[in-house]
Structure 1
Amino acid sequence: MKKFIAIVGSNSKKSTNRQLLQFIQKHFENEADIELVEIKGLPIYKKSPEKTVPEYAKEVAKKIEAADGVIIGTPEYDHSIPAVLTSALAWLSYGQHPFVDKPVMITGASYGSLGSSRAQAQLRQILDSPEIKARIMPSSEFLLGHSLDAFDENGNLKDQEQVVQLDGLFQDFLNFVDISAQLNSSTEANKQDAADFNWEDNK
C-alpha cells in the first residue's frame, strides 16, 4: 500500500480544505495510507545568516521524503494561495528539498463557485520552481466549490458526481506515482541543482 502525505494548506481551525483531505483519507483508506500534515505550526518564513530551519519543517520534510506522493489542499485568497502555504513551501525548500521529483496531486476547496482554480494554477508554478522541482500530476484539478455546503454531517461529499470525479483522479494519481517511480535517473542531479540554486546568482 502506498504512503501519501496530505498537506492542509490553511491555518484555519474550520478549513473545508482540511475536510476535503479528511474525506480523501477515509474514502481511499483501502488504497493508500494517507497522513494529514498541518502547516499551522510553522513560523512565517524568514531567512537567517545561520540558515536555521524550524524543527517542525525538518519533520515535515522527512515525512515527504519517505512518502510515495503528496496531496496538497489549497484554499484561494485574492486569487492566490494563502500566505501560510507560501511560507511553508519556502521552509520546505530552504536547506532541504524533499519535493524534488516527488509526485504531487493538487486539490482545493473554496466557498465560491470556482473551487480555488486560480490558486491551484499558482501552486503549480510554485511547485515547478527551481528550488522545489516537484512532479505535478498534469490535468488533475479537483475543484470543490461552495465547500461550506459540500459535506454531510459525517464529513462525506454530498455530490456523487464529485465523488466519481475524485475516484478517477485518485486512480490516475496512483498510476502517476507508479510511472514517476520509474523516472528516477536524474533525481540525484535534480536534488543537487535545487540545492545549488540561488536567485541572487540568477538575476
Structure 2
Amino acid sequence: MHQFIGLVGTNSTNSTNRQLLQYMHNHFADQATIELMEIKDLPMFNKPQDRKIPAKAQAMADKIAKADGVIISTPEYDHSAPAVLMNALEWLSFHIHPFVDKPVMIIGASYGSLGTSRAQAHLRQILDSPELRARIMPSSEFLLGHSLQAFDDDGNLKDEQKAAKLSGLFDDFQTFVEITKKLSNANATTYQEVRDLDWANL
C-alpha cells in the first residue's frame, strides 16, 4: 500500500482544501495511507546565512522524502497559489530537497465556479523549478468549485461525477507513482545538481 503526504496548502483554520484532503484520507483508506501535513506553523522564509533549517521544515522534509508521493491541495488567491504555500516550498528547497523526482498530484478547492486552475498552473511552474524538480502528474487537474456547498455533513463529496473523477485521478496517480519508480536512471545526478545550486546567487 502506498504512503502519501497530503499537503494542506493554506494556513486557514477552516479550509475546504483541508476538507478535500480529509475526504481523500477517508475515502481511499483501503487503497493508500494519506497523512495530512500542515504548513501554517512555519516561519517566514528569510534565507538564513547559517543555513539553519527550522525543525518543523526538516521534519516535513523527512516525511516527504520517505513518502511514495505528495498530494498538494491549493487554494487560489489572485490567480496564484497562496503565499503561505510558496513559503513552505521555499523552506523545502533550501539545502533540503525532498521533492527531487518525487511524484506529486495537485488538487484544489475554491469558493468560486472556476476551482483553482490558475493556482494549479502556477504551482506546477514552482514545483518544476531547478530548486525543487518534482515529478508532477500531467493532465490531471481536479478543480472543486463552489466548495462551501460541495460536502455533506459526513464530509463526503455530494457531486457523484466529481467523486468519480477524483477516484479515477487517484488511481492514475498510483500508476504514475509506479511508473516514476522506473524513471530513476538520472536520479542521483539530478539530486546532486540540485544540491550544487548556489543559493547565494539565487
Q: Give the TM bin, normalised by the shorter chain.
A: over 0.9
Secondary structure at 2:152's aligned position in 1?
coil
Percent of aligned pairs with the same residue? Answer: 60
Q: Which residue of structure 2 aligns with residue 154 of structure 1? A: 154
Taking the aligned partners of 2:58 and 2:199, their CA distance within structure 1 comes to: 22
Q: Which residue of structure 2 aligns with residue 91 of structure 1? A: 91
Structure 2: unaligned runs, 5 residues or longer: none
Instruction: Please give the per-residue CA displacement for 1:104-161, whole angstroms capped at 9, x wherever unaligned.
Output: 0000000001111000000000000000000000000000000000000110000000
Q: Which residue of structure 1 aligns with residue 187 of structure 2? A: 187
Taking the aligned partners of 2:49 and 2:181, their CA distance within structure 1 comes to: 36
Taking the aligned partners of 1:136 and 1:114, their CA distance within structure 2 comes to: 21
- Residues 41 and 100 of structure 1: is their aligned pair in 2 closer, same or farther, counting only changes over 3 Å? same
> Where in structure 2 are the equivalents of 1:64-75 lying within 5 Å?
64-75=64-75
Q: Which residue of structure 2 aligns with residue 21 of structure 1? A: 21
Instruction: Please give the per-residue CA displacement for 1:19-65, whole angstroms capped at 9, x wherever unaligned.
Output: 00000111100000110000001111111110111000000000000
Taking the aligned partners of 1:39 and 1:145, their CA distance within structure 2 comes to: 23
Q: Which residue of structure 1 aligns with residue 133 of structure 2? A: 133
Q: Which residue of structure 2 aligns with residue 165 of structure 1? A: 165
> Where in structure 2 are the equivalents of 1:52-63 lying within 5 Å?
52-63=52-63
TM-score by length of 2: 0.98
Taking the aligned partners of 1:2 and 1:49, their CA distance within structure 2 comes to: 37
Aligned-CA RMSD value: 1.0
Segments of 4+ moved more than 6 angstroms: none
Taking the aligned partners of 1:169 and 1:59, their CA distance within structure 2 comes to: 28
Amino acid at match of 1:179: I
Taking the aligned partners of 1:98 and 1:48, their CA distance within structure 2 comes to: 19
Taking the aligned partners of 1:177 and 1:41, their CA distance within structure 2 comes to: 29
Taking the aligned partners of 1:90 and 1:49, their CA distance within structure 2 comes to: 15
